[in-house]
Amino acid sequence: MLAFVARRLLVAVPLLLVVSFVCFALTSLLPDPSVARLGQHATKANIEAFRRSKGLDDPFLARYGRFLAGAATLEFGEDIVRDDGRTIGAGIRERFPATFELALVAMVVAVVVGLAAGSLGAAFPRRVADAFAQVVAVVGSSVPVFWLGFMASLLFAVHLRWLPHPDWSLRTVAPGAAYATRFFLLESVARGDLAAVGRALSHLALPGLVLSTIPLAVVTRMTRSSMLEELGRDYVRTARAKGVRELGVVSRHAMKNALMPIVTVTGLQTGALLGGAVLTESVFAWPGLGRYVAEGVRSGNGPLVVAGVFTFAATFVVVNLVVDVVYHAVDPRLRRAS
Amino acid sequence: MNAPRAVRRLLRDPLAWIGGTLVLAVVAMALLAPVLAPHAPDRRVSLPGAHDPVAPDARHPLGTDGNGFDVLSRVLYGARASLVTGLFAVVLAMLVGVPLGAAAGWAGGVWDGLLMRLTDVLLSFPSVLLALVIAAAVGRGSLWTLVLAVGIVQVPLFLRQVRASVMTAKQEDWVVACRATGLSPVRTLLRHVLPNCLAPILVLATLGVGSAILSAAGLSWLGLGPPATEPEWGRMLEEGAKYMREQEQWVLVPPGLAISATVLGFNLLGDALRAALDPRLAR
């Protein structure tokens, strides 16, 4: 087990280093942040003085070294475009929890619905339920999330008034309480404050459901094909022969064996999910990292964009690492192999 | 791959027909836009100054938008932008990904390892974000920005697929036979191995057009696409979003439906192609 973790880390750490390098190399392609700070009409001398004072003209490797140091401490240096005396990292840390909980809810919805729909389709292939699940999955993956977000909030928040317009802040989730973190949902759960959990979920519902359409199609499909394969195996026939009911065969016998490719695909879908978060957050004015990056792009804040993208990529790499390790710990077949 | 049989299977698949119809409809919209559109897509038809969306009427079947443009005409012309972006992005991804993937799969060794690590790196970025940064780096303002951003993001997908297909084909007896008859390796690869890898490339390309259109619409919606005067669906949604909480919410509907229908068409067609070309998968 330890050897496996060590081996995976040995791949992940260099990967993160290269990712950081690519991220940083992209900064040099982005528009000059000093123009964004000083405005279009700044004189050449002003821009040069500003660039010198912020170290923007230092050699490439020196700047990359500073970026790496910034990434290691999660500070990423001061935000020279906003210039409000705070570091870029402070802004990222403030917004990361909102994105994390949104992505978490979306992923849980996608996995639960996808597992159920996919298994149902595999248990009764080529029936109405199977066809329906497949059609919903392909339609869901064809609709742009940002448009789906508009339509869903028009329907559920404006016309039907079933859900509130998402407003993610402590004021709406737990008025008057003092939370230690900005993980409003998780901290409400930890405090056992059910009313706050309910309020948090009601605000997460719209963006979470909308975002879940991105991984849903892939999870449903993978579940269906992986489950179909398992259902054709001998042990499944044995289980049926000894009188286990079909529901039990699918959920207890086949599911465990079918789970491996599903878990892997789910981990990989986190990337698409995090990318979709950029669009979803912008629709719902969600105070997360995705919207922060999108705003950074609009305002020409190159260093912020690169730091945000690196945070996203690093999260993706770490999620896949954790998925791998957890799966290895849980699956006895893999545990023996390593 | 047995071409006639695959075509027959494709023609029997109802989903292929739905997908094909949707795609053809969008192509028809793009080609016939000048004939079908009641107005020029970039001429303000309502009075200048007071540009609030005007509700649908006889003159403007889908109303006008906040810039005073006729929505129906813009939706029709927008098909051009979407198809151009989707097709060229995939062509770009194939032009880079297919040769590199073939070389990696055929040559193996250090070259292969290096390319695989490189795709690992590219694939560890959420694709929308990578496209976002590339688009921001290229600078704003045109469809080609979107083509480049979305195309580069798809390169690793083609590279991996072609590499895997070539590596599988390399093991087969007929490839050994080609080599044994004295055919040069490059000729074997180009004339015999690559044509045999066409099926998965075709599937990936069809699905790729759909996802390219989807990503491009997202980037354009974030403001990285062509200027607001150009008829482009993602950009139309960005304009429409201003009216989100007001009476004119309906301006959001047509462009979104158009994007969804187009992407759905390519997705259905791609899935049907995959099933037709590889019957083992279509259980």
pLDDT tens profile A250-290: 888 888 888 888 888 888 888 889 888 899 998 898 999 99
Q: How far apart are the first and last CA of chain A?
A: 7
Cβ distance of A309 and B129 shorter than 8 Å: yes
- Chain A contacts of B249, Cβ < 8 Å? 154, 158
Looking at the partner chain, which of B234, B256, B281 has a beta carbon nearest the beta carbon of A151? B256
Residue A160 CB neighbours (<10 A): 9
Structural domain spans, chain B: 3-45+60-282
**3-state secondary structure at position B186:** helix
Distances (CA, A) of A300 to A31, A306, B77: 6, 11, 30
Q: Which DSSP string corresponds to A270-338?
A: HHHHHHHHHHHHHHHT--SHHHHHHHHHHTT-HHHHHHHHHHHHHHHHHHHHHHHHHHHHH-HHHHHH-
Q: Which DSSP string corresponds to A115-167?
A: HHHHHHHHHSTTSHHHHHHHHHHHHHHHS-HHHHHHHHIIIIIIIS--SPPP-
- Chain B contacts of A275, Cβ < 8 Å? 126-129
Cβ distance of B136 and A305 shorter than 8 Å: yes
Give the pLDDT confidence of A146-204 residue by residue, as tens digits.
Answer: 999 989 988 888 888 888 888 888 888 888 888 888 898 888 888 888 888 989 999 99
* Centroid of chain to Cα B234: 14
Structural domain spans, chain A: 95-296
In terms of CATH, what superfamily is B3-45+60-282?
Answer: MetI-like (1.10.3720.10)
Closest CA to B81 of B201, B237, B272, B248: B237
Q: What pLDDT sits at residue A59?
A: 84
Q: Give A194→chain B minimum CA distance, Å.
A: 31
Looking at the partner chain, which of A279, A298, A306 has a beta carbon nearest the beta carbon of B128? A279
> At which residue do the structure tokens 């990967």 appear?
A15
CATH class of the A95-296 domain in this structure:
mainly alpha
Cβ distance of A150 and B241 shorter than 8 Å: yes
Give the pLDDT confidence of B55-90 residue by residue, as tens digits.
Answer: 777 777 777 777 778 888 889 999 999 999 999 999
Give the pLDDT confidence of A84-128 residue by residue, as tens digits.
Answer: 778 888 989 999 999 999 999 999 999 999 999 999 888 888 888
Looking at the partner chain, which of A141, A276, A298 has a beta carbon nearest the beta carbon of B128? A276
Q: pTM of the prediction?
A: 0.88
Cβ distance of A144 and B126 shorter than 8 Å: no
pLDDT (average), residues A24-51: 80
Cβ distance of B283 and A228 shorter than 8 Å: yes
Distance CA A286, CA A270 (A): 18
Looking at the partner chain, which of B136, B253, B263 has a beta carbon nearest the beta carbon of A142? B263
Which tokens is A263 given?
A: 């878990």
Residue B49 CB neighbours (<10 A): 6
B258 pLDDT above the threshold of 90: yes
> At which residue do the structure tokens 């298994």 appear?
A119
Interface of B with A (CB under 8 A): 117, 120-121, 123-130, 132-134, 136-137, 139, 210, 214, 217-218, 221-224, 234, 237, 241, 244-245, 249, 252-253, 255-256, 259-260, 263-264, 267-268, 271, 281, 283
Cβ distance of B256 and A147 shorter than 8 Å: yes
